[in-house]
Amino acid sequence: MHEGLWMIAAPEVILVAGGVFLLLAESLAKLESKAVGVLVLAVHLIAGLCLLPFITTRAVIWDGLYTWDRFAVSGKAFFLVVGMLVTYLSLEGEAKVPAARAEFYILPLFCTAGMALLCSVRDFVLLFVALELVTVTLFVLVAYRRSDPASLEAGAKYLIVGGLATAFLVMGIAYIFGATGSTQFDAVAGFAESEGVGPVLLFGLAFLLVGLGFKAAAVPFHIWAPDVYQGAPTPITAYLSVGSKAAGFVVLLRVFLLPFWNTDFQRHWVPLVALLAALSVVLGNLAALPQRNIKRLLGYSSISHAGFLLIGVASHSFLGFASVLYYLMAYLAATFTAFLVLVLLEREKGGETIADLSGLAQRSPLLAWSMALAMVSLAGIPPLMGFFGKLLVFLAAWESGLHFLVIVGVAAAAAGIYYYVMVVRAMFWSDPVHQGPIAVHPATRGLLLALNVGSILFGFYVKPILALAAGAVVGSGG
């Protein structure tokens, strides 16, 4: 593969270039922050368009560091969508970010670039670099509102625990490199195939999992999640709960699909991941029950969804990995709807607790119904995407023999319905605390409708999304 294929890596290049250009432009020309936001959206669109022509190509470039296959393409598309949605959230939440200088819009560009890079990773070095690009940008974004102590506290916590995770990650990579003598995924796979899994390699795998566990916010590395979710500005919380988590799982899939795929490895990591999944599902759902602050509640909910996703990963089968991708798409739709409604509420001086949501159905049926559909989809009640995701994940786990895990998953999901229903209850039953209807920009109205209809439609007519997910997993052989 001659280096001329550089163009293929366009999305990352465009994003970074766009980011740098906008940073310069902003510092020189003092652009108004809303305009910058729109420009950022434009950059994302351009990157997306550049992606289209290369959908079917398959290539491994940069001396085996970077691969381009259907899995990577769908991953990049996913993260571009996430990027655009976060930017849109920031635009809507403009008022709440007082010192809203343009960086708040531009930084996510770099973060999205990092995530896109992660989708094509084939080497631990590139993995480390891309992961750190994402993490560090998120450190800054979480602590962006310097005037708000909560944001600062969240930033500090995220940074320290993040730092720890990075340290473990690097130590893991070091040991894997030490054991196999190479950082290439296929080399590691070859080594494991020939020499089997020695203690050093296992040690490396353990530390690697610690680092990735942090990213996915799975128990026991979830400690940061609730506080950071609550403290961070709402668009960034959305970004964390979807973008960063998805990045974690994309890497997990990449890592388990290629280097650690052979049965000898699986004998070690499958029970471990299954245990992590069970713990996350139980803790996520139980700890969310008494929560009153919605963002903190969604934090715990994201931990429980990390658990369900891990169930998919633990089933180490084609169906399992496809279900993880489908579940991520369902999770994307539901979470962003919820956060969009939250952002709109915050703009109307509404707080973040469930009580502030009360009576929303009478104030603005669209918002109430969007939030309700998001909650119902997260709770896994048909006919929404969330349900089909859970169905796939449980089916995959059961087929690969993890019967106990499915039972635990089902029980935790049942316990979980309570706090989703509490949100729905507050909105539909009680009378409004804050009076007056909520102004919703037509574009946002359109976006909400799209997310709602998507969530219902693709919950029933699952074929397109599922084909995308399955294709991606099949395509990731490279």
Partner 1 sequence: MAWLLLLAPLVSAFLVWVAFRRHPRASQAVSITASLITFLTAIGIALGKIEAPASLAWIDLPGLRVEIGMTLDSLARLMLLMVTGVAFLIHVYSLGYMAEDPGRGRFFGELSLFLASMIGIIVSTNFIMMYIFWELVGVSSYLLIGFWFEKNSAADAARKAFLANRVGDFGFLLGILTFWATCGTVAFDPAAARGLAGNSLAPIAALLLFCGCIGKSAQIPLHVWLPDAMEGPTPVSALIHAATMVAAGVYMLCRIFFVLELSPEALSVIAWTGGITALVAALIATQQNDIKRVLAYSTMSQLGYMVLAVGCAGTTAAMFHLTTHGFFKALLFMGAGSVLHALHHEQDIWRMGGVGRKMPLTFATFGIGAAALAGIPGLSGFFSKEDILQTAAQSKPALFWIAALTAALTAFYMTRITLVAFLGKPRTEVATHAKESPLVMGIPLIILAGLAIVAGYPFFGILHYLGAQESAEKSLLVPAASLTAVILGLTAGAVGYGRATRERIVIPLLERKFYFDEIYDWTILKLQEEAARLLAWIDQWIIGFFLVRGGAFLVSLGGEMLRLLQAGNLREYAFFFALGAGGILLLLFGH
Partner 2 sequence: MGTVTLGHYLVLSGLLFAIGLAGVIIRRDLLIMYMCLEIMLNAANLSLVAFSRFSQQIRGQVLVFFVITVAAVEVAVGLALLVSLYRMKRTTKAEEITALKF
Partner 3 sequence: MSPLTILLLVEASAIGLILFGAPPKKVSMAAAAVNFLLSLWLYVQFPAGLGGYQFVESHNWIALSGLPDIRYHVGVDGLSLPLVLLTTLVTLAAVWVAPAQIKRAAEFYSYLLLLSLGALGAFVSLDLFFFYAFHEFALIPTFLLIGIWGTENRQFVSIQLTLYLGLGSLVLLAGIIALLGALPAGARTFDIPRLTEYLRENPLPPNQQLLPFALLAAGFGTLVSLFPFHSWAPFGYASAPASAAMLHAGVLKKFGLYGLLRVAMPLLPGGAEAWKPWILALLLGNILFIGFSTIAQKELPAMLGFSSVMHMGYLFLGLACWNVLGISGVVFLMVAHGLSAALLFAVAGEVRERAGEIRFSELGGLARRMPFVAVAFLVGSFASVGVPGLANFPGELLIFFGSWRSQPLFTAVVVWGIVISAVYQLRAVRSVFYGDLPQHLIQANDVEGSGRIPYMLLMAALLILGIWPGTLLGVVGSGVRGFLSLY
What residues make contact with partner 2 under the rule CB under 8 A?
124-125, 128-129, 132, 136, 139-140, 143, 146-147, 149-150, 152-157, 159-160, 163-164, 166-167, 170-171, 173-175, 177-178, 181-183, 226-227, 230-231
Least distance from partner 1 to the Cβ atom of residue 44, Å: 34
Among 34, 96, 268, 434, binds partner 1 (CB under 8 A): 268
Residue 391 binds partner 3 (CB under 8 A): yes
Least distance from partner 1 to the Cβ atom of residue 345, Å: 24
Residue 406 binds partner 3 (CB under 8 A): yes
Contacts of 436 (CB under 8 A, 6+ apart): 348, 363
In this structure, are residues 116 and 137 in contact, taking their beta carbons and an 8 Å threshold?
A: no
SS3 assignment, position 121 = strand
SS3 assignment, position 59 = strand
Rounded distance, CA 352 to CA 136, Å?
27
Among 398, 432, 433, 434, binds partner 3 (CB under 8 A): 398
Nearer to partner 1, 60 or 415 (CB): 415
Rounded distance, CA 343 to CA 333, Å?
15
Residue 10 binds partner 3 (CB under 8 A): no
Contacts of 144 (CB under 8 A, 6+ apart): 97, 103, 104, 151, 155, 233, 236
Among 15, 73, 169, 210, binds partner 1 (CB under 8 A): 210
Among 134, 288, 334, 385, binds partner 1 (CB under 8 A): 288
Residue 39 binds partner 3 (CB under 8 A): no
Q: Torsion-angle region of residue 359: left (phi > 0), alpha (psi -120 to 50) or beta?
A: left
Among the residue ranges 41-49, 123-131, 215-223, 380-388, the one whose residues contact partner 1 (CB under 8 A): 215-223
Q: What is the dihedral of CA 207, 73, 86, 441, to 10 degrees?
A: -160
Nearer to partner 1, 304 or 377 (CB): 304
Among 24, 407, 443, 449, binds partner 3 (CB under 8 A): 407
Residue 59: name its binding partner from partner 3, partner 2, partner 1, none (Cβ under 5 to 8 Å by kind): none
Count of H-run helices and E-run strands, the chain? 20, 2
Residue 383 binds partner 3 (CB under 8 A): yes
Site string for partner 1, 224-243 (x = CB under 8 A): x-xx----------------
Nearer to partner 2, 251 or 469 (CB): 251
Q: Which of residues 167-196 bind partner 1 (CB under 8 A)?
A: 168
Instruction: At 439, list the tokens.
Output: 């102004």
Nearer to partner 3, 203 or 428 (CB): 428
**CA proximity to 266, closest of 161, 401, 74, 374:** 401
DSSP string, 381-424: -TTSHHHHHHHHHHHHHHHTT-HHHHHHHHHHHHHHHHHHHHHH
Helix (H) or strand (E) holding 35: helix 33-51
Nearer to partner 3, 190 or 383 (CB): 383
- The separation between CA 148 and the C-alpha centre of its own chain, rounded to angstroms, equals 25
Rounded distance, CA 401 to CA 263, Å?
15
DSSP label of 244: I
Among 209, 387, 444, 451, binds partner 3 (CB under 8 A): 387
Residue 289: name its binding partner from partner 3, partner 2, partner 1, none (Cβ under 5 to 8 Å by kind): partner 1
Residue 261 binds partner 1 (CB under 8 A): no
Q: Which residue has the tokens 């102004």?
A: 439
Instruction: Give the CB-side neighbour count of residue 201, counting CA atoms within 13 A.
Output: 23
Burial (CB count <10 Å: 0-12, 13-18, 19+), residue 401: exposed
Among 1, 45, 125, 272, binds partner 1 (CB under 8 A): 272
Query: For binding to partner 3 (CB under 8 A), which residues are involved?
Result: 317-319, 322, 361, 372, 376, 379-383, 387, 390-392, 394-395, 398-399, 403, 406-407, 410-411, 413-414, 417-418, 421, 424-425, 428-429, 460-463, 466-467, 470
Q: Interface residues with partner 1 (CB under 8 A)?
A: 156-157, 160-161, 164-165, 168, 199, 202-203, 205-207, 209-210, 213-214, 219-221, 223-224, 226-227, 268-269, 271-272, 275, 283, 286-291, 415
